[in-house]
Structure 1
Amino acid sequence: MKNPSPASLYAPFRYWKAAMSDRKPSSLVCFPYSYEGEKVHGLYEGKGFACFEGGNTYKGMFSEGLMHGQGTYTWADGVKYEGTFVKNVQMFSGRYTWNDGSVYEGSIKDGVRHGFGFFRSGIHPISYIGYWCKGKRHGKGTIYYDQEHTSWYSGDWVNDVKEGWGMRCYKSGNIYEGQWEKNVRHGKGRMRWLTVNQEYMGQWVHGIQHGYGIHIWFLKRMPASQYPLRNEYVGDFVNGKRHGHGKFIYASGAVYDGEWVCNKKHGKGKFVFKNGRVYEGEFIDDNMVEYPAFLANAMNMKGLNSICTGNHFGTGKELEKTNSTQLTFCFYCNVKLYLLKKFAVLRHITELRRIYTFYSSLGCDDSFDNTFLMTKLQFWRFLKDCRFHHSNISLAEMDRILRDKTPVEEIHCPHETLLFRTFLSYLIRLAFRIYHEEHKENSPYLSKCFLEMVSRNIIPTACYVQGILFSEEGCTVLVMNSYLDKCWGIYRAFCRPSTRPPFELTMKMRHFLWMLNVITSISLFCVVTSALFAQFI
C-alpha cells in the first residue's frame, strides 16, 4: 500500500491558507470619513453606518465612538465579517465570508479564529469543524476532503499540523487509527486496507511500519468455516519490511518462527508444517540451508502481497512435500494418543470447533473474514465457564501445566493467541491432569479421560458465559479492550516471582491490595494538590 504523498494530500491547503487569512484588528480602519446614525456628546452611539477610506464599511452598533456590539464589517476586496465587536475588535463569535464563497463561523478572539468553529472552502471541497488557536487548527477537530465526506481526518491538531491521536479515512475506504506526528503516521496505530483485505497494528515511524507489529491478510470465507485461519505475521518491522524476529502463521496451519531479513526468512528459524512435521535450522534467502532444492520463488503466493512494497511471502505448501525421512517429526507416536485422536477428539470435533469459534469472538469487533483467534483471556473465560477450576486446580496452575516454551514472564499473558489445534492439545493435557487418577486402571485411559472431561465439563456448560467478563451488557468488554494493555502493564509492575517452579510473575491478594493502596494514595495526592493550587489561583 503506497502512502499518500504529502504534497498531493495537502495541496488544497496552499489555497486555503491564502483565502482564509484572518483580518486582524490592525486591518480595521477606525476613522470613517462619513457616518450615518445616532450620536451622544459628539460620539457615535447606537446603530449606525460608517464608510472608511479605501472602501471599507461598517454597519452595526457603536458605543462611545467605537464599534461595539453586533455589526457587519465589509472590506473593499469583498471579505465580510458579521458578529460581535468589542471596542473595534472582533471578539467572541462571528462569521467570516470571503468573496470566493469560503465561510468561517465560530469563536473569535482579537480578530482571529480562536475556540470552536467551522470553515468551508468555496472552491475546493474542503471543510473543517473543530477547535482553533490564534487562527490555526489546534486541539480536537475534523477535516473533510470531499463533499461526500468519504475522505476525512478526525483527531488532534497542533498549529495546523496533525499531531497526537487521530483517525484518517481515505476515499478508497482504507482507515488508519493511531498516533500522528507532523502530518504523518508516527507511533502506535492500526491501518486497515479494506481494498485488499489487510490490516497492520503496531509501530509506525514517519509514515512507515517500523518496530513491533502485527500484519494480517484476511481471507473471505463463510462463517464457521472449517479452516478459521488467516495469514498473519507477528514480529519486527524495519522500514516497512519484515526484518528481525517474527512469527508467520499461514492460513493452511503452517507456522514459521524465526529470523527475517527484508521480508525473507533468513537466519535461524523453526518451520512447523500443517501435518505436524518440523524443520528447525538455518534459512538463507527464504530457503532451508540443509535442503537448498526448495527455492524461495517456489514458496511465493500471489495472494500474499507485502504491506506496501510489493514483495511476497511463502505459503509453506512446497516445504511440506519434503521427504519425511529428512525432517524432524513432531507427532504422537504413542498408540494411546493415536486412539485418542481417532476415537475421542474426532467424535466431538464439530462441537469443539463451534465452542472455539464462540469464545474466540467474545469481546471482538466484526471480523473482515469471519475469522477469530482465541486469546488466552478468552481461553480463561472458557475454563471458568466449564468449571475446570473446581477440580482442585487453579487457572494459574493450568497456565503452568500448559506453558510449553512460553517465557516465564509471559506465562499469564492475556494477549497470547491459540490456534484450534493448540486449543485441542490443551484440552487433552488438562483432561489427563484432572481425570487420570480415575481411569489409570482402564485402557486406553487417555481416551477415557478426554471423554470424561467433554461429558462432565464441556458439553453441559460451554458457551454459557458466567460472571461479568464478556457478559451481554458489553460495558465491561469495551472498558477492557480500551485498557487491557495498561492493565497488563500495571499487573507486571506490581506482581512478584512465584515461589514455585517455574517461578513466573504472579500477583497474590496482598500484592493486589498493596497496588490499590498505592493507586489510592496517588489519586488522593492529586486531589489534595489540585485543591491547594485552586486556593492560590
Structure 2
Amino acid sequence: MPIVKYPRAVEPRWHEWDEKAQKCGLRHTVYAVNGDQYTGEWLDNLKHGKGTQIWKHTGAIYSGDWKFGKRDGYGSYSIPDPVTKEYKKVYTGWWKNDRKCGYGTMFYPSGEHYEGEWSGGLRSGWGRMCYGDGSIYEGQWLADQPGGQGMLCLPNENRYEGGWKDGKKHGPGRFFYLDKGQLLEGIWVADIPKCGIMIDFGRDEAPAPTQYPIPKV
C-alpha cells in the first residue's frame, strides 16, 4: 500500500517576525522612524514602567515613569542649551496622562522658577513662584495664575496679603508699605485698591518714612 506524505504545515515567516517585534518587558534602545529613541520597559508595545525618551527634533529628554505609552508618575524633563549643548532641567515632578500633575518644580528660561502643585499641565493648587525681578508669590493658583489667597513679596520688602483673581489682586487684602512705614487695608478690584484705611505701621523702622505721620481719628 503506497504511503502518502503530506507536507508539514509551516507557519508563515511573518508570524515569527511579528512575534519578535512585539515589545514587552525591558528592551534596549528602540528607534522610531522619525529618529526619536526610547530605552526602557514596555507592555503590549507601549512604553510602560521606567524609561528614557529622547526627541530627535528638539533634543529634549524625559527620564522617569511611563504608563500605557504616556508619561505618568515621577520624572524629569530637560532640554539642551542652544549654545553649550548641555542639558538644562525644565521640570521635575509628577505627571499624569502625559501632563504635569501633582507636585513639581518648573524652571523657566528667564531664570524664574515655580515649585508647587499642578493639574492638567497648569499651575493649580498651592505653590511658590520666584520671578526674575526678585518678587516672590506664595499662595493659591488657579488655571496657571494666582487665584484665591496669597502673598506677594516685592524686592523692596513691601508685600501684599489677600485675595487674588486671574493673576491680579482682588477682594479683601492688606498692603504693607514697609519702606514708608504704612499699611493699607481695604478692597481690591483687578489690581486696583477701591476703598480702604491707611495707617502708620512700623514707621520708626522704615528706611524712608513719610514726612508726617497719619493723624489718628
- TM bucket (normalised to shorter chain) is 0.7 to 0.9
Contact 1:167–1:178 (CA<8 Å) still a contact in 2? yes
C-alpha deviation, 1:157, in angstroms: 1.0
Between the aligned partners of 1:176 and 1:319, the Cα distance in structure 2 is: 29
Deviating runs (4+, > 6 A) in structure 1? none
Equivalent residues in 2 for 1:102-117 (5 A)? 102-117=60-75
Equivalent residues in 2 for 1:133-172 (5 A)? 133-146=96-109, 150-172=111-133
Q: From the superposition, tell whether residues 319 and 173 of structure 1 become closer, same or farther in structure 2 (CA, over 3 Å).
A: closer
Give the structure 2 partner of residue 6 of structure 1.
none
Q: Does 1:130 align with 2:93?
A: yes
Contact 1:101–1:123 (CA<8 Å) still a contact in 2? no
* Of 48, 54, 73, the match for 1:91: 48
Partner secondary structure for residue 35 of structure 2: coil
C-alpha deviation, 1:158, in angstroms: 1.0
Number of aligned positions between the proteins: 195
Give the structure 1 partner of residue 26 of structure 2.
70
Q: CA RMSD in A?
A: 3.0
Give the structure 2 partner of residue 317 of structure 1.
212
C-alpha deviation, 1:152, in angstroms: 0.5
C-alpha deviation, 1:168, in angstroms: 0.4
Structure 2: tracts of 5 or more residues without a match: 1-12, 83-87
Between the aligned partners of 1:159 and 1:188, the Cα distance in structure 2 is: 21
Q: Does 1:209 align with 2:174?
A: no
Q: From the superposition, tell whether residues 318 and 43 of structure 1 become closer, same or farther in structure 2 (CA, over 3 Å).
A: closer
C-alpha deviation, 1:243, in angstroms: 1.8
Partner secondary structure for residue 173 of structure 1: coil
Task: Give deviations 1:141-175, integer Å, cap 9, x for gaps.
Answer: 1101149xx41011111111111111101122211
C-alpha deviation, 1:179, in angstroms: 0.6
Structure 1: tracts of 5 or more residues without a match: 1-32, 35-41, 45-49, 51-62, 220-228, 254-302, 305-314, 321-328, 331-537
Q: From the superposition, tell whether residues 204 and 243 of structure 1 become closer, same or farther in structure 2 (CA, over 3 Å).
A: same
**Equivalent position amino acid for 2:152 in 1:** M
C-alpha deviation, 1:246, in angstroms: 2.6
Partner secondary structure for residue 24 of structure 2: strand
Q: From the superposition, tell whether residues 132 and 245 of structure 1 become closer, same or farther in structure 2 (CA, over 3 Å).
A: same
Task: Give deviations 1:215-270, integer Å, cap 9, x for gaps.
Answer: 11223xxxxxxxxx8222122222222222334325558xxxxxxxxxxxxxxxxx
Between the aligned partners of 1:182 and 1:116, the Cα distance in structure 2 is: 22
Between the aligned partners of 1:151 and 1:319, the Cα distance in structure 2 is: 38
Q: From the superposition, tell whether residues 65 and 95 of structure 1 become closer, same or farther in structure 2 (CA, over 3 Å).
A: closer
Contact 2:199–2:214 (CA<8 Å) still a contact in 1? no
Between the aligned partners of 2:176 and 2:149, the Cα distance in structure 1 is: 16
User: Greater share of strand residues, 1 or 2?
Assistant: 2
Between the aligned partners of 2:190 and 2:117, the Cα distance in structure 1 is: 25
Give the structure 1 partner of residue 5 of structure 2.
none
C-alpha deviation, 1:77, in angstroms: 2.1
Give the structure 2 partner of residue 439 of structure 1.
none
Between the aligned partners of 1:140 and 1:236, the Cα distance in structure 2 is: 32
Q: Rg larger in 1 or in 2?
A: 1
Between the aligned partners of 1:183 and 1:93, the Cα distance in structure 2 is: 29
Give the structure 1 partner of residue 183 of structure 2.
232
**Structure with larger RCO (C-alpha < 8 A, sep 6+):** 2
**Equivalent position amino acid for 2:124 in 1:** E
Q: Does 1:101 align with 2:59?
A: yes
C-alpha deviation, 1:107, in angstroms: 0.4
Between the aligned partners of 2:81 and 2:154, the Cα distance in structure 1 is: 30
Equivalent residues in 2 for 1:397-412 (5 A)? none
C-alpha deviation, 1:86, in angstroms: 1.7
* Of 173, 188, 191, the match for 2:134: 173
C-alpha deviation, 1:180, in angstroms: 0.8
Q: From the superposition, tell whether residues 180 and 68 of structure 1 become closer, same or farther in structure 2 (CA, over 3 Å).
A: same
Contact 2:178–2:201 (CA<8 Å) still a contact in 1? no
Task: Give deviations 1:367-411, integer Å, cap 9, x for gaps.
Answer: xxxxxxxxxxxxxxxxxxxxxxxxxxxxxxxxxxxxxxxxxxxxx
Between the aligned partners of 2:214 and 2:22, the Cα distance in structure 1 is: 85
**Equivalent position amino acid for 1:192 in 2:** C
Give the structure 2 partner of residue 198 of structure 1.
158
C-alpha deviation, 1:43, in angstroms: 4.1
* Of 180, 195, 201, the match for 1:244: 195
Q: From the superposition, tell whether residues 215 and 64 of structure 1 become closer, same or farther in structure 2 (CA, over 3 Å).
A: same
Contact 1:126–1:146 (CA<8 Å) still a contact in 2? no
Contact 1:84–1:93 (CA<8 Å) still a contact in 2? yes
Equivalent residues in 2 for 1:249-260 (5 A)? 249=200, 252=203
Task: Give deviations 1:247-297, integer Å, cap 9, x for gaps.
Answer: 4325558xxxxxxxxxxxxxxxxxxxxxxxxxxxxxxxxxxxxxxxxxxxx
Between the aligned partners of 2:143 and 2:104, the Cα distance in structure 1 is: 16
Paired-residue identity, %: 26
C-alpha deviation, 1:106, in angstroms: 0.4
Between the aligned partners of 2:131 and 2:72, the Cα distance in structure 1 is: 28
Equivalent residues in 2 for 1:414-425 (5 A)? none
Partner secondary structure for residue 189 of structure 1: strand
**Equivalent position amino acid for 1:317 in 2:** Y
TM-score, normalised via structure 2 length: 0.78
C-alpha deviation, 1:110, in angstroms: 0.8
Equivalent residues in 2 for 1:17-28 (5 A)? none
